[in-house]
């Protein structure tokens, strides 16, 4: 019933992904959500985010920040990490994901998505055919519309976790 919302992988943080292994497995592009995936909502890139993007470039990845926010917010974050970016992306629509792959010169077979929300990030990535990584939100303070979505995410995640236990 909720399978289109299920992530391929679920982790505590975008910072714990084994990016070197992803590269060895043929992944060449990573699309990231920003708010509550890489930094708390509305915050600029911190030292941890800056180091992550430096590391990803050293490994050989192309990256795109894909955000539903307006350009000033996305640009503020990007000024420190120097990635390609798309603002007002219209997630969960697939157009932003497809544009991100076009910008990186990658395909759905060698691109992954990392984000903290099921109903925008993961659902959109899944519709676009990307492998999706769901992270836990970095900070509990969120806008009211996201707080409401988190309630419904808990329902979906309950069924997701239950289906994973059955398949083990």
Whole-model pTM: value is 0.87
Exposed / middle / buried, residue 127 (Cβ in 10 Å: 0-12, 13-18, 19+): middle
Domains (range + CATH), the chain: 3-167 (3.40.50.1000)
Nearest to 142, CA basis, from 39, 13, 12: 39
Least confident segment among 71-85, 115-129, 149-163: 149-163
d(CA 34, CA 136): 13
Give pLDDT tens digits for 78-128.
Answer: 999 999 999 999 999 999 999 999 999 999 999 999 999 988 999 999 999
């Amino acid at each position: 019933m909720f399978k289109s919302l299920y992530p391929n992988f679920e982790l505590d943080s975008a910072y714990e992904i084994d990016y070197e292994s992803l590269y060895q497995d043929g992944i060449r592009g990573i699309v990231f959500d920003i708010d509550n995936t890489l930094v708390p909502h509305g915050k600029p890139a911190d030292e941890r985010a800056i180091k992550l993007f430096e590391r990803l470039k050293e490994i050989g990845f192309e990256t795109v920040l894909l955000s539903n926010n307006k350009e000033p917010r996305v640009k503020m974050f990007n000024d420190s990490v120097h990635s390609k970016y798309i603002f007002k992306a219209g997630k969960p629509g697939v157009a932003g994901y497809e544009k991100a792959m076009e910008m990186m010169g990658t395909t759905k077979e060698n691109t992954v998505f990392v984000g903290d929300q099921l109903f925008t990030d993961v659902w959109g990535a899944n519709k676009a055919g990307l492998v999706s990584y769901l992270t836990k939100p970095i900070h509990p303070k969120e806008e009211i519309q996201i707080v409401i979505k988190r309630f419904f995410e808990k329902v979906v995640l309950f069924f997701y976790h239950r289906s994973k236990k059955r398949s083990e």
